[in-house]
Amino acid sequence: MRPTEYMHKPSVRLALAAMVGLVVSVGISGPAAADPAPGAAVITLGDSFTATAPLSEPLGGNCMHPPTSWPGQLAADMGIAGTPAFQDFSCNGAAIDTGTGWTLLQQARAAAPFLGPGTRAVLIQLGFNDAWGSSARAFPSFDCLMDPVRGCDFDAVGQARVPDFRAVTSAGYAERVRTVIDYVRYFAPHARVVFVGYPAIFARPGNTACWDVAVIGHVVQPRAQAYLAFLDALDAAQRDAARILGIDYFNARAVTAGHESCSPEPWIGGLTSLDSLTVGAPLHPTPFGNGVVAAAMKRQFAL
């Protein structure tokens, strides 16, 4: 389904209308009519790079939000962790509009009662788990990176083993999120709406992907061109879509550059210790890396 077809589906319009009705009803009923709630200060929407929850967490539903994630550390730095002022709706497996996990629309509907004039920032990190173009494949997965014969070269796109990086465009990204962004800006008029980019996962430039595995050491995929091209395209699409929509962009790749997987001081985790699957997931940020991102975000947006 093309992005424009998705955004104009009657079901989507009805869902957004329901969201509006929910917020309006909250604002005019009970004590809120006399003293309207200002809204949560910070709201986060995103996928596993946002939640950084254990790999064993199920998709959708009861999404875990450990304090080691960048939203958790940002909230702690702001002094709002564990309070109504901080609302995190991120979830492993989430996407803009693909798959069975929490989509952007579903996360925005859950966040609706917490949007208000007192909301200072709505931070969104999505797109990694989406299908793009004619390919139904979402998420450039481990089976491609760990294939010693075929690898993740450009022919992997036609074989549906990696998303089509050529279809990841700024205009396409903007259209897939536009309705929700407009909704958020309407009900949180003073908020900084921010697309949060993905961290530096593999060293660039280059054609190889490397990650650490306990006992074995560095595991290298020498033919990772299509995987890396997808990451590059997604980074550019998020940044340019923010410009198209007139919102902010946080360049997590620049903040974490030099600390990719297999670097001397990696901020991307591998499979190196007993807690590798309990503090996050392989090829996702480490708690320290998330802390660096949270601190930089707090500075950039004066949170």
Dihedral-angle region of residue 180 (phi above 0 means left; psi in -120 to 50 means alpha; beta otherwise): alpha
- Quick one: pLDDT at residue 187? 95
Q: What is the mean pLDDT of the chain?
A: 84
CB 51 within 8 Å of CB 83 = no
Residue 61 has pLDDT above 80, yes or no: no
Average pLDDT of the residues in 147-152: 86
Report in angstroms the alpha-carbon separations of 12 from 60, 109, 113, 119: 19, 11, 18, 24
Average pLDDT of the residues in 125-142: 83
**Peptide bond before residue 264 is cis, with ω within 30 degrees of 0:** no
Residue with tokens 């997808």: 230
Average pLDDT of the residues in 45-59: 77
Measured in whole angstroms, the distance separating CA 78 from the mean position of its chain's CA atoms is 21
CB 283 within 8 Å of CB 211 = yes
CB 39 within 8 Å of CB 32 = no
Where residue 160 falls among pLDDT bands split at 50, 70, 90? confident
Average pLDDT of the residues in 16-32: 42
pLDDT tens string 181-210: 999 999 999 999 999 999 999 998 889 999
DSSP character string of 51-66? H---TTPPSSSS----
Average pLDDT of the residues in 40-67: 80
- Quick one: pLDDT at residue 286? 92
Residue 11 has pLDDT above 60, yes or no: no
pTM for the whole structure: 0.85
pLDDT tens string 64-73: 889 999 999 9
**Position 192, amino acid:** R
Residue with tokens 């407009």: 182
Residue 130 has pLDDT above 60, yes or no: yes
Would you tell me how many other CB atoms lie within 10 Å of the CB of residue 138?
A: 17
Residue 13 has pLDDT above 60, yes or no: no
**d(C-alpha 228, C-alpha 226), whole Å:** 5
- Quick one: pLDDT at residue 159? 85
pLDDT tens string 257-292: 999 999 999 999 877 665 666 666 778 899 999 999
Q: What angle do CA 131, 132, 136 make, to 5 degrees?
A: 50
Where residue 219 falls among pLDDT bands split at 50, 70, 90? confident
Where residue 80 falls among pLDDT bands split at 50, 70, 90? very high
Average pLDDT of the residues in 113-128: 97
DSSP character string of the chain? --HHHHHT-HHHHHHHHHHHHHHHHHHHSGGGGTS-----SEEEEE-HHHH---TTPPSSSS----TTSHHHHHHHHHT-TTSTTEEE---TT-BSS-SSS-BHHHHHHHHGGG-STT--EEEEE--TT-B-TT---BS--HHHHT-TTTTT-THHHHTTSS--GGG--HHHHHHHHHHHHHHHHHHSTT-EEEEEPPP--S-SSSS-EEEEETTTEEEEES--HHHHHHHHHHHHHHHHHHHHHT-EEE-HHHHHTT--TTSSS-SB--B-STTTTTSS-TTSB-HHHHHHHHHHHHHHTT-
- Quick one: pLDDT at residue 143? 74
What's domain 3-29+38-138+168-201+230-269+285-300's superfamily in CATH? Answer: SGNH hydrolase (3.40.50.1110)
